[in-house]
Amino acid sequence: MSPGGQKKLALAGALYVAGFLVSAAVGSLGYFHFGRPDRTCASCHEMTGAHAAWSGSVHSTLHCRECHGGSLTLDAHALRAHVNRVVRHFTRTPDEVIRLKEDDVLRLQASCQRCHPQSAADWKASGHASTYARFFLDETHNRKERMAADCLRCHGMFFDGDIEDLVSTVSTAGPWSLKNPAKAGEPAIPCLACHQVHAPASDGRSALLYVRREKASFPLAVLPAVPLMHGNSTVRLSPDPRQRLCVQCHAPEASRQVGTSDDRTPIGVHEGLSCLDCHRGHSNSARASCASCHPGSSHCGIDVEKMDTTFLSATSRHNVHRVSCEDCHGGVRPAKR
């Protein structure tokens, strides 16, 4: 065979091998993208635990790619994630747990919003959608209280770093700025702060608490019910397990006196009610709460929505969480009419 023929044969062979490898690669990617999770994702030993949790979860009818993307999801973030996944596969220790980084959490949140548009809209209208800039660049608050690592327990559960990695200075003197300006508009309390994609379907409630220190989500049943005091008296708490979730962040001071720090546990006429008896889950709105329990008029003949409380006006000195009959009646409980 002539030298020219040999070159053509070698080139044809190389093209054949390249075509075979490309076809095999595309075919493998397509199989992993569209195949059943028990034959694709779960075939990697790192994924067996996550797959088992997903199989018994409220999202078991969804394919993994619906939330996490698939092998044919080829934007820059996905390509980086694919490479990191391969690297971790060959470099991690057998007992190392794979955890989501904050970028992963925020991307996953976009999937939550596609399937739960109303809940997402309610959340966006609530205080829980506040950004890092809103929490950590509040000069009024920062001059009163020095920022600490514990701030991230509620206001940045998934932040990849410590408080000094987030804010330029933590002193009360300021000035304050975010070390990474791109974080200014990011939500500090995303969906996964109180939810988990792989939550068991048998749980009955979708709410959980992500604990930054443990880097894990915990169901309501294991969250502690914080005993609260009003002076020397024990406050009667709602048996609603969701109340335990709220008080983990809306917590009292170490004295456990109700109403201290950011605690909003109801006492007075509303003692024993759950936060969710009045506040809607995602929007936190309480505008329709009175009508759900009260008739047009209260037992003293006054429309409760027209009473001088913070429900009517934020400037009222009668906080609806702590208001009692005596507050508006000269220290005397009025007789029923």
Structural domain range at position 175:
131-188
> CA 285 to CA 247: how far, in whole Å?
17
> CA 163 to CA 158: how far, in whole Å?
12
Residues 228 and 182 in one domain: no
Distance spanning both ends of the chain, measured CA to CA: 114
- The 10s digit of each residue's pLDDT in 60-96 is 888 887 887 766 666 666 667 667 777 777 776 656 6
The answer to whether position 290 is within a domain reads yes
So what's the pLDDT on residue 204? 46
> CA 86 to CA 279: how far, in whole Å?
45
Residues 228 and 304 in one domain: yes
So what's the pLDDT on residue 26? 62
The answer to whether position 272 is within a domain reads yes
The answer to whether position 62 is within a domain reads no
Segments in the chain below pLDDT 50: 204
Which residue blocks in the chain are alpha helix, DSSP H? Answer: 3-34, 48-55, 64-68, 76-91, 102-115, 117-124, 132-136, 139-144, 163-166, 242-249, 275-278, 289-293, 325-328
237: Cβ–Cβ under 8 A, 6 or more apart, which residues? 225, 227, 228, 243, 265, 272
The answer to whether position 2 is within a domain reads no
How many structural domains is the chain composed of? 2
> Please, are residues 188 and 156 in contact by the beta-carbon 8 Å criterion?
yes
User: Which DSSP state fits 9?
Assistant: H
The answer to whether position 242 is within a domain reads yes
SS3 of 20, please?
helix
SS3 of 79, please?
helix
Q: Can you name the residues that pair with 211 across neighbouring β-strands?
A: 216
Residue holding tokens 């932040």? 159
- The 10s digit of each residue's pLDDT in 45-59 is 677 777 888 888 888
The answer to whether position 82 is within a domain reads no
